[in-house]
Amino acid sequence: MQEAKTSQGEMTFDDQWYELTRSTEPLQSKVAVSDLAQEAIKSFDYVTDGTTTFYPYLTPQLPQTFGIGVIVGASGTGKSTLLKSFGSAQAFAWDDRAIVDYFDTPDEAREKLFAVGLTSIPTWFKPYAVLSNGEKFRADLAVRLKDNAVIDEYTSVVDRNIAKAASKSFRKYITDNGVNGIVIATVHRDILNYLEPDWIIDTDAGMFAVKPRECLRREPVVAEVYEVQPALWELYAKHHYLTANLSPFSRCFAAIIEGSPAAFYAVISYPSGTVKNAFRGHRLVTHPDYQGLGIGPRLSDFVAAAYIAEGKRFFAKTAHPRLGEYRERSIEWKPTSKNKRYRTDTASDAQRQQRRQRFVDWTMNPNRLTYSHEYVGTKQTD
C-alpha cells in the first residue's frame, strides 16, 4: 500500500486504490442452535455453536471536505458498519400531504425535486403513499438533499434506469450548490459513474480510492428516435406538467432506449399569418423512469434539427423552468421577442384556471412565466 502524501498540511492522493485495514476487534453475534436448526444444516457438514464473528473494515483516512462518498459492496461485506462511522441514516416520516409541501420554500422544493429527476409536476401534488417505487425513491432522496446526509441501501428498490437518471441529477445538484459530506452505501455499481463520487470504499475488493476517474467513465446513453402514432401519448399524458390534451393535428416522435419509450414529443404547425413554413413543439414529456438524464431536451433538439434541415423553421415555448433554462443556455436555441414574458390564461376556461392557480401558488406570481425560442442549430450567426 502506498501512503497518502501531504502537502502544506493537506492530504493529497494519487489516483489509485489503497488497501483497507480490518479491525482486530471482531463483531460477534450468537443465537441458540435449536434441534430444527441442527437438522436443517446436517446435510451441509456445517458445525456451529451459533456464534458469528466478523472483523469489520476500519474507516480509512479520507478528505475532510467532499461532495459525495460511496461505500459499495455485496450484502454482508461490512458496508453498514462503515456507514455508521459517518452518522445515522435517518428515516423520514411522510403523511397525507402533497410531497411538494415538505420543503421550507417553493424554491427549495422546485430545486430539490428537479435535482433527483422528479420533474413531473403533477406528481408533486400527490401524497407519498400513492407514488410508485421509483417516485418514492426520488422523493426520499429529495428530502435528504442536505449537508452530511447518510443514505443506506441506495437505489436498492428501483429500476436501474431510474437509479442512473436520479444519480446523475443528484450529482449535478450537489456540485452546483456546494452540498458537502453526503455518504451513500449501495450494492450497485452501475450508478457509480453517474454519481461521480469524490471517494469510493469497495468492501468487495477491500480497497478504497480518492478522486477516482478511470472507473467512473461511462458509455453514452443511446436513444433511437422514431415517428410514432399519436396513440402513444396515452403513456405520457398524465405526466405532462400542465395538460393531458394533445392536438389531433400533431406529428409525434418518441425516443426509445433499449426498447422502452423514454420520451415523447409532439409537433404542430406554427400558428402565424406572417411566419411561413414553420412548426412548433406542442407536447414534450419524459417518462418518469428516465427523468434526469436530459433525454427530453435532447429529443426536442433532434426533432427541431430535422425540421430546419428540410428548410423549415422551428419554434418552442414552455413554462417548465428546467426546460426553459436549458434552452436559455444552449447556442442552438435563440430567444424570440416573446421570451420570458408572463402569460395570463383566459378566465373562461375553468379547468385551465385551476391549473393556472396551482402554478400561481407555486411561483408566487399572478401570471405564468414562459420561455420562447427558435431553434437555429449550431450555425448561429449574429
Per-residue pLDDT reduced to its tens digit, 91-112: 788 999 999 999 999 999 988 9
What mean pLDDT is predicted for residues 272-298?
87
pLDDT of residue 177: 92
Nearest C-alpha neighbor of 351 from the set 277, 243, 237, 255: 243
Angle between helices 295-309 and 321-329 (to 10 degrees): 50
Structure confidence at residue 148 (pLDDT)? 94
The mean per-residue pLDDT over the stretch 181-207 comes to: 93
Q: Which pairing describes strands 150-151 and 224-228: parallel, antiparallel, or unpaired?
A: unpaired
Give the dihedral sign, CA 246/252/255/256.
Answer: positive
Phi, psi values for residue 238, rounded to 5°: -70, -10
Q: Which of 372, 153, 160 is nearest to 272 (CA)?
A: 372
Whole-structure pTM value: 0.68
- Tally Cβ neighbours within 10 Å of residue 199: 20
Between 244 and 107, whose confidence is greater? 107
Spatial separation of the C-alpha atoms in residues 265 and 250, rounded to whole Å? 9
Rounded average pLDDT over 217-234:
87
pLDDT averaged over every residue in the chain: 84
Q: What percent of the chain has pLDDT over 90?
A: 52
CA distance 204 to 171: 24
The fold of 61-214 is: Rossmann fold (3.40.50)
183, pLDDT greater than 60: yes
Place of cell 489516483: 15
- So where are the chain's domains? 61-214, 224-375
Render pLDDT for 323-382 as a digit per residue (tens, 0 to 9).
899 999 999 999 998 888 765 544 444 554 444 344 333 333 445 678 999 999 986 544
pLDDT for residue 5 is more than 70: no
Measured distance CA(347)–CA(225) in Å, rounded: 38
Judge: domain 224-375, CATH 3.40.630.30.
yes
Owner of C-alpha cell 406570481 = 365
* Cell numbers placing 19: 488497501
pLDDT at residue 10, rounded to an integer: 47
Is the pLDDT confidence value at 4 over 50? no
